[in-house]
Amino acid sequence: MLTTDQIEFYTTQGYLLVEDVLTPAELGKMQDIARDLIDRSRQVTTSDDVYDLDEGHSPEQPKLTRIKLPHKQHPYFWNVLKNSRITEVMRQLLGANVLLQTSKLNTKAPGGGAAVEWHQDWAFYPHTNDDMLAFGVMLEDVTPENGPLQVIPGSHRGPILSHNNADGIFCGAVDPDDPEFHLDRAVTITGRAGSMSVHHARTLHGSAPNVSDRARLMLFYECCAADAWPLMGGSAYLQRLPQAEQWQDLLDRVVIGEPVLQPRLEQVPVRLPMPPAPDVSSIFQLQKSAGAKSAFAR
């Protein structure tokens, strides 16, 4: 699926655009499921285990920031991850044994869908090694106007920046004034529906509000090599489960191969996401409740 040049680009730059990763049939079905899920949110009045509501949400005009764990809301999202071109990209970048870390369907509504402030995924859930990435599957065309993903090339090879606010609380975003945050180097990733972005867990990234009159549906799968195990103190829910439930959860998240019970330890930079913010129900609420500074409101 990927060429040698594409793999080398991802390795050195920390991101990649893979065009036409979905077939037209896969794209059409995923779009239909996503729109049906959004339509069901018309009767939801507060954020819950499925929907994270955006400001102005109503039955007449549903506005969401996110649909949580879409692979659990409809089995097709899981099937595509396990049996498609996405699977082959994952195999090439992460190896023979791969787990799903989490999934989310970011549904930036037209006319101001919420921004995601600049951050590194690794700051939220450090592991024993950093063979971790996120796929951003574009279910609609992504243009400069509708809040595309932006990344800073090569940042996955640098430090883990502080994601804590002035009071020391983990706010899930870097300070725009951090001298090691080089916004001038940012690259914007746009593409046709059916394409997919890839970014390393340590790559600095964010996305501006959607100021267009079109939605931006983007399905994120966060995946890791199966020998990457979460560190205590990270935000992984797995640590809160009894041992038997941890094992079943692990089996349920195997995408390729099988679980690996010998964690691979690598010398990688780590910061723990503590102390926690007042509201950690989603990255949007975390950044908002902890007063994260915005790089987009300048």
Which tokens in the block code for residue 219?
């399905």
CATH code for residues 4-289: 2.60.120.620
Query: Quick one: pLDDT at residue 113?
Result: 67
For 82-123, give the DSSP string. HSSHHHHHHHHHH-S-EEEEEEEEEEE-TTTBPPEEEE-GGG
What digits encode the pLDDT tens for the residues 69-106? 999 999 999 999 999 999 999 999 999 999 999 999 99
Cβ atoms < 10 Å from Cβ of 154: 15
Cβ atoms < 10 Å from Cβ of 138: 26
Distance CA 86, CA 22 (A): 8
Which tokens in the block code for residue 37?
């899920």
Please tell me the pTM assigned to this model: 0.95
Query: Quick one: pLDDT at residue 19?
Result: 98
What digits encode the pLDDT tens for the residues 188-198? 999 999 999 99
What digits encode the pLDDT tens for the residues 98-132? 999 999 999 988 876 678 999 999 999 999 999 99
Domain residue spans of the chain = 4-289
